[in-house]
Amino acid sequence: MKPLKYAFGVSAKNFLRFLVHQKGIEIDKNKAKAIINAQPPSNKKKLQCFLGQVHFLRRFIANLAGKTKAFSALLGLKGDIEYRWEAEHQQAFQSIKEYLAKPPVLMPPRIRRPLKLYVLAVESSLGKYEALIIGLEIMLDMHVTTVQISGDSQLVIKQLNGEFKCSAPGLEMYFSIASHLLTKFDDVIITHVPRIDNGSANVMAQLASGLRVPDGTNEQWVKVSKQLPLIGDKYGQLEMVNPVDIVQDDWRTPIIQYLQNPQLRVDTKIKLQAVDTSF
């Protein structure tokens, strides 16, 4: 940043391509205008360019993944497959433009106002728990009293809800710590979001494929620092407690037994339930 290029101590000013004032941070009108006046992309490259402009303003667009989901098929076109701009694409395109015509104002967290915190986790259950613990710690530091957790890991969500028992040796401590942190909130809502409904990763990956990478970038060294301290060192030895055990006559018992031993003779219904991922 060049200090002489920016002004401080003023009520409103363009700062790093955003408008900053007492109420919060707004989109630079010129940035929004470029998207609002854009014509429908006539090919994949122009679509990637348009979505790149939209992605720059992603913090101001609620549910960006949902708004751009209609373009996923076009971004995935390869070879000589025809690029066809359909009504659904035009509708999504117009929806983004209308949204940015009256964009929201970003403001710092305020007491008794909803706060959404997005935490990126790796695919393993351990990574999901680590991300959850980090998010809960951040919200506790901000004195949040009500928390709503949404995740795509059915195993982790059902363990936290008490529907499944956490018995994996590598997860017990993380489960106990997460459960311990959840008790510090006045109200907790935990919901499962199927991975198919979260198209952000696919859209971002397609956007990345359209970016030009400068020569030599692939050879640059990147330093990675661990953000989460050792759980054992930070929390000590918490008692490993599983709030709900599966009783013998539970409807899931025969399914679990069949999964553990597929040689068992069971009803066809049990076999179908065992392979149904919606359970």
**Could you read off the pLDDT of 65-83 as tens digits, one per residue?**
888 888 988 988 888 889 9
pLDDT (average), residues 113-132:
71
CA distances from 79 to 82, 189, 277 (A): 9, 46, 34
pLDDT band at 138 (very low <50, low <70, confident <90, very high): confident
Q: Which CATH architecture has domain 109-211+227-245?
A: 2-Layer Sandwich (3.30)
Phi, psi of 241 (to 5 degrees): -120, 135
Residue 95 has pLDDT above 80, yes or no: yes
CA distance 277 to 166: 19
Strands 187-192 and 146-151: parallel
pLDDT (average), residues 193-214:
53
What residue ranges do the domains of the chain occupy? 9-101, 109-211+227-245, 248-279
Identify the pLDDT of residue 21: 62
Side chain identity at residue 227, one-letter code:
Q
pLDDT over 70 percentage in the chain: 64
How much of the chain is helix, strand and coil, in % rounded to 5? 45, 10, 45
pTM reported for the whole predicted model: 0.42
